[in-house]
Structure 1
């Protein structure tokens, strides 16, 4: 029974994560925290092992989603690799500092974090992307399905500093970084939403490899859980990409906001009671 539940959890986290570019950790971790705290279906897991498992699973969610998004020609590889220059070292540092987290602090911190993100997305249409500045030298073009050409870009040093923080949070609380990176790409760099989601999954894949390797070194991975979650996450990732291709951008963002609010409130409640 436990294996069936874990496969289902893996599928849901992979599907929702790839649908909105989160990576899945922001879905997977609350699911496992809830099941461990309130049911006998899943054995309670420490925050350290939980993050290690999440990052292992996100390797497969990220790879599955990236391969699917490649077919739709939405992945911006050059931007993703620049982002990884910052997120890789950040993931290593976050993984080492993760040992200081207790379960209650972990839940509250995670909950507040995702609720703040949901409010950030609320104002995304009112914020002028920073790429308009003339000194932005790294610019890209993307043609939308309706034929509109979108120009976006960023200063590499700003992107690397930002993604260092994203990578740190990935290793620290196992979120994969997409929950912060997707809003940042949309709000700060002017990425089209479809490209932001796809490129985020590419970066999640790379960061998860680095972060999970560090957690493996620290002994923070329970392979019984990881192996049960991976198959669901793989097929969930592909399902999320398929659904994403059928939805409008604003619908994807609305889904992301509501998912974050619900998860955040549940985690805060769980951590303070």
Structure 2
């Protein structure tokens, strides 16, 4: 029964993570904590986060390849932001060792409630227009022929990406839930470019975070074996659905579930 849950959970995490730019860990972490509560398997916060990061890596790779095929990834901006998120993810992975079961549940509970709030306002956020302060300017042509210009202020973007990477390594999530709103609000990224590019950043950061967690012995490879097939196909499915349908209904359901799970973990 536990391994069926892991297969289904991997698919769900990959699909949701790719569709809305979350990375998938926001589903995997509560799943593994719940699995530890209902089984005799020892699932510590460190094992939870390390195993989740391997899944985030696979989801990020799968969805990034799909978004690259759709030509929605801004490679240059992604690499600039990775300058911050990469070291941050390593640092967060090391700090994770200071969590015990209670403290991890408490802080992760607050964190996923924050993610749920961000999902509530995702479609209402507007760019504040910082092109005049940008150190890197980007211009794209949409499939409809419209030209869109946006830019990154590296002095602001790299520290934000570092914080996102730190939280990603600390909690075992992809970090896209924080990065996508920042890319849209502060740097005027088109939403579909922000989601696709954030998945590339999630993938690159997850490589470093996964290596760190593996070196610390924080990975349950049997769990990984059952999570990976769903994460891989879910990543491709989410990228496909992103171009075919509105994610509003899924996001509405997800944010309600996240709030319930967050409150449950806190108490």
TM-score bracket for this pair, using the shorter chain length: over 0.9
1:8-63 residue CA offsets vs partner (Å, 9 max, x unmatched): 111110011001011100111112222332x34x8351111110001111111111
Task: State which drifts further: 107-116 or 170-179.
Answer: 107-116
Deviation (angstroms), 1:120: 3.6
The two structures, once aligned, show a CA RMSD in angstroms of 2.0
Deviation (angstroms), 1:232: 1.1
Contact 1:60 1:234 in 2 (8 A): yes
Contact 2:86 2:165 in 1 (8 A): yes
Confirm or deny that 1:5 pairs with 2:8: no
Distance 1:174 1:209, change over 3 A: same
Q: Classify the secondary structure of the residue corresponding to 2:247.
A: helix
From 167, 172, 188, the counterpart of 1:174: 172
Deviation (angstroms), 1:183: 1.3
Contact 2:90 2:209 in 1 (8 A): yes
Deviation (angstroms), 1:100: 1.2
Distance 1:264 1:94 in 2: 24
Name the structure 2 match of 1:212. Answer: 210
Contact 1:25 1:54 in 2 (8 A): yes
Confirm or deny that 1:265 pairs with 2:260: yes
Deviation (angstroms), 1:4: 2.5
Contact 2:117 2:255 in 1 (8 A): no
1:164-191 residue CA offsets vs partner (Å, 9 max, x unmatched): 0011001101111111111111122111
Q: Classify the secondary structure of the residue corresponding to 1:139.
A: strand
Name the structure 2 match of 1:240. Answer: 238
Distance 2:263 2:86 in 1: 29
Distance 1:199 1:26 in 2: 18
Q: Classify the secondary structure of the residue corresponding to 2:78.
A: helix
TM-score with structure 2 setting the length: 0.92
Distance 1:260 1:127, change over 3 A: closer
Distance 1:135 1:31 in 2: 42
Name the structure 2 match of 1:112. Answer: 110
Distance 1:9 1:141 in 2: 38
Contact 1:20 1:197 in 2 (8 A): yes
Name the structure 2 match of 1:35. Answer: 35
Distance 1:132 1:197 in 2: 19
Name the structure 1 match of 2:195. Answer: 197
From 180, 184, 187, the counterpart of 2:185: 187
Q: Classify the secondary structure of the residue corresponding to 1:147.
A: coil
Distance 1:201 1:236 in 2: 13
Name the structure 1 match of 2:18. Answer: 18
Distance 2:202 2:69 in 1: 18
TM-score with structure 1 setting the length: 0.90
Distance 1:227 1:2 in 2: 13
Deviation (angstroms), 1:125: 6.0
Contact 1:119 1:257 in 2 (8 A): no
Distance 1:138 1:25 in 2: 30
Distance 1:8 1:128 in 2: 35
Contact 1:59 1:204 in 2 (8 A): yes
Gaps of 5+ in 2: none
**Count of matched residue positions in the alignment of Structure 1 and Structure 2:** 267
Task: State which drifts further: 91-100 or 117-126.
Answer: 117-126
